[in-house]
Amino acid sequence: MRNSIFLTFTFFAALGLGGSSLRAADRPRAWPPDQFLPLTEARIAALPEAEQGVWRKYLETSRQVAKAIPTPTEPEFSPTEPLKAQLTGGRYAKGLKSGGDSKWYATEEARRLAVRVGEWQSPAGGWTKSNDYSISPPPKKTKADIWDAGTFDNNATILEMRFLVRVIAAGTDDKRADSWRATFMRGLQYIFNAQYPNGGFPQIYPLGGGYHDAITFNDNAMPRVLELLRDIAAGNPEFAFVPAEQRAEAARRFARGIDCVLKTQIVEPPGRRTVWCQQHDMLTLKPCAARNFEPIAASTSESVSLVRLLMSLPSPSKEVIDAIDSAAGWFSKVALHEKSWKQHHIEAQAGAGPLWSRYYEIGTDKSIFGDRDRTIHYDVSEISAERKNGYAWFGTWPETTLTEYKNWHAKQVPLAKD
């Protein structure tokens, strides 16, 4: 263990990222204040007058939807962030899947699950994460939290909707199919309601007043929503039951979301585009922080999903092409070579890599690491054992995407010259 710590220390010291000899700019630091601001009437009033109406309507709709669930038992954001909040529940809904053999979706087992998906749907129209679809939901709680209305975190809501589509497409002879279609359409309206006027999506809806209200790329929340809207708008056969009006609306919402993705891409002086933060402010579109160990940063994993989404566009504009090219260039620039992430520490390894940090400091491209006490570190060995062992600080996220990018870019060169 001592040798591991020594190797970690030596590596980061060599990079100027660790040890007592660090320059002041590289020493652990606290978060700056005002990392996240909720959507309020006061903030809306500061917008240009022409924009205020749609934002007031959005906020009022959110409040009306919130009335369908009990008052939260505790606020969504706390500077101390209790540890238990991060350890409860599973990662995905039990019993559901969105891929696999299409024949299975015609079985009675799948259809029973589709019934339960409807039972678990919240009055707001969404689904919370980690529901157990092997059973019917328990009696309604008298005190719930805002998550019970619905979330896009951990593939919630999108997983349920894609599951329903597969069951519906497997055969509509079942008398319950009308109910499944109605459940899906309520979910689609939930998505429409949740989308901000500028095209972004919060992590949960209705708004809870905490960092979950920020435009959320974390855990691919917004990309998954946009992919569903894209598939509905494209008129894919499995979505044939969606009325033409709603398909057209899905197309408009998808386009608005792509515009938001482009506008949130981080731009550094003198106009150099890089990638994206995990969360962005819903009004200013500037990067903002989330959980206590998730500071403002250029986020590698989330940016990979956004690049892949943009590359899926059939006729990319020059702006889209520039955004993708810039992100791919940044991935290549910050990649680590001859290094590996083993047993929660970095070590030199010939031929290893490329490897990427989860977070990079905006403006310097230095790897940074957050802890639950809201401190930011340049040396991963300095953070608590719980966070060091419980988070993906390094990974190979962009590797496959960069390979795909080379093929994609070759096809776009003639378009870029036009």
CA end-to-end span of the chain, whole Å?
58
- Name the most confidently modeled range: 74-88, 128-142, 362-376: 362-376
Tokens of 144: 């719930």
Give the tens place of pLDDT for each residue, 200-214: 999 999 999 889 999
Average pLDDT over residues 204-232: 95
Peptide bond between residue 197 and the one before it cis (omega within 30 degrees of 0): no
How far is Cα 198 from Cα 281, in angstroms, rounded to an integer?
11
In the predicted structure, residue 6 carries a pLDDT above the cut 70: no
Average pLDDT over residues 54-60: 98
pLDDT of residue 84: 34
pLDDT of residue 54: 98
pLDDT of residue 18: 39
Least confident range of 35-44, 156-165, 338-347: 338-347
Average pLDDT over residues 304-330: 97
Which residues have CB under 8 Å from 359's CB, separation 6+?
294, 295, 297, 298, 299, 300, 367, 368, 369, 370, 393
Average pLDDT over residues 362-370: 95
- The confidence band for 120, taking pLDDT boundaries of 50, 70 and 90, is very high
Do 157 and 187 meet the contact criterion of CB atoms below 8 Å apart?
yes
Least confident range of 132-141, 142-151, 305-314, 373-382: 142-151
Do 94 and 160 meet the contact criterion of CB atoms below 8 Å apart?
no
Of the two residues 8 and 290, the one the predictor is more confident about is 290
- The confidence band for 378, taking pLDDT boundaries of 50, 70 and 90, is very high
Three-class DSSP category at 347: strand
Average pLDDT over residues 4-15: 36
Domains with residue ranges and CATH for the chain: 1-30+265-418 (1.50.10.20), 52-254 (1.50.10.20)
In the predicted structure, residue 72 carries a pLDDT above the cut 70: no
How far is Cα 58 from Cα 37, in angstroms, rounded to an integer?
16
- The confidence band for 3, taking pLDDT boundaries of 50, 70 and 90, is very low
Give the tens place of pLDDT for each residue, 83-116: 333 323 335 688 888 778 889 999 999 999 999 9
pLDDT of residue 100: 80
Percent of the chain with pLDDT over 70: 84
Cα 199 from chain centre: 14
Average pLDDT over residues 318-332: 97
- Catalytic residue numbers? 154, 291
Average pLDDT over residues 285-296: 94
How far is Cα 179 from Cα 150, in angstroms, rounded to an integer?
19
- The confidence band for 414, taking pLDDT boundaries of 50, 70 and 90, is low
Give the tens place of pLDDT for each residue, 128-152: 988 899 898 887 655 455 667 899 9
In the predicted structure, residue 357 carries a pLDDT above the cut 90: yes
Tokens of 326: 């810039």
- Greatest alpha-carbon pair distance for the chain in Å reads 72
